[in-house]
């Protein structure tokens, strides 16, 4: 019997990738952010998961607007790093877990979800901007990626994201003996266009983190416009964190939490264990 042993919600951003690659750990603007990942990385290392289920969104690198699936599950031996226009970073490709991936695929379809199954998939900064902060490369832990459409309307609802996370939890429970961590990434409050460019709302970001832990049902009831009104247009990405929360079951223990809003986006991090 498989087990979800932990969940991580974390902001992704190209700025994090640049800070890591340029080793800004001692820069005053970045020092506290770098430090905030260390407890999470130590906790994750101690958990020793057999696989990671990575919930993220593709930024028009694997998919384009003419064919953008609502949910796309990667089932492959290798997930290559996407070249997002300025060359690949000096980081290795990611190993896949095809056996777990096919089990999740079959389980989701039997549970009346209809993911697109990708046997070839490149992965972009939705994963790569944060993974080096949490696990030292090269990465031995294999992944099963789930890409969620939070870019081109119609988008899945917050509740649908929570529900597919719960279905992943059921799938892992019906698998062989394996310890799995579900990690969901997505920017918190930010808007990168229009008259509200630069909008950041730390109060809402922290309320979201509170509710994610204690009462995710409230977050499931909010529609897309409400998420965007509170956090900016691109902050709709946080609905992916509900997939992680749904996988963990009714109650969680908060292991670590951090939040910063120094620039154009809120950077959040939470680590949960099933309660």
**Catalytic machinery residues:** 125, 190
Residue 91, phi then psi, degrees to nearest 5: -135, 150
* Closest listed residue to residue 145, CA positions, set 214, 94, 85: 94
Peptide bond into 138 cis (omega under 30): yes
What is residue 104's three-state secondary structure? Answer: helix
Residues facing 274 on adjacent strands: 252
Q: What is the side-by-side order of every strand in the sheet holding 78-81?
A: 94-95, 78-81, 122-123
Side-chain-side CA neighbours of residue 13 (13 Å): 25
Q: What is the side-by-side order of every strand in the sheet holding 267-274?
A: 116-118, 71-74, 143-148, 51-56, 179-185, 3-10, 267-274, 252-260
Tell me which H or E stretch contains 9. strand 3-10
Q: Alpha helices of the chain — where are they, by DSSP H?
A: 14-21, 31-47, 98-110, 125-128, 131-134, 158-173, 202-214, 216-221, 224-231, 241-248
């Amino acid at each position: 019997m498989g087990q979800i042993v932990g969940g991580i919600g974390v902001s992704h951003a190209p700025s994090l990738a640049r800070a890591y690659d340029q080793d800004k750990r001692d820069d005053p603007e970045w020092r506290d952010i770098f430090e905030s990942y260390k407890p999470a990385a130590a906790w994750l290392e101690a958990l020793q998961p057999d696989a990671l289920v990575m919930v993220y969104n593709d930024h028009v690198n694997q998919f384009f607007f003419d064919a953008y699936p609502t949910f796309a599950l990667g089932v492959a031996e290798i997930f290559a790093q996407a070249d997002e226009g300025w060359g690949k970073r000096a980081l290795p490709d990611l190993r896949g877990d095809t056996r777990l991936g096919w089990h999740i695929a079959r389980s989701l379809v039997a549970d009346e979800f209809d993911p697109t199954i990708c046997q070839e998939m490149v992965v972009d900064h939705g994963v790569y901007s944060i993974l080096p902060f949490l696990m030292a490369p090269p990465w031995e832990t294999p992944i099963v990626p789930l890409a969620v459409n939070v870019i081109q309307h119609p988008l899945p609802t917050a509740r649908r994201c929570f529900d597919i996370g719960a279905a992943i939890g059921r799938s892992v429970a019906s698998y062989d003996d394996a310890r799995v961590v579900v990690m969901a990434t997505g920017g918190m409050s930010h808007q990168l266009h229009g008259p509200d460019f630069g909008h950041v709302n730390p109060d809402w970001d922290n309320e979201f983190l509170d509710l994610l832990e204690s009462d995710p049902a409230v977050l499931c009831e909010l529609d897309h416009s409400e998420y965007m009104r509170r956090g900016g247009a691109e902050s709709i990405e946080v609905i992916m964190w509900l997939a992680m929360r749904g996988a963990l079951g009714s109650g969680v223990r908060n292991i670590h939490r951090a939040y910063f809003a120094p620039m154009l986006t809120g950077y959040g991090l939470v680590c949960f264990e099933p309660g």
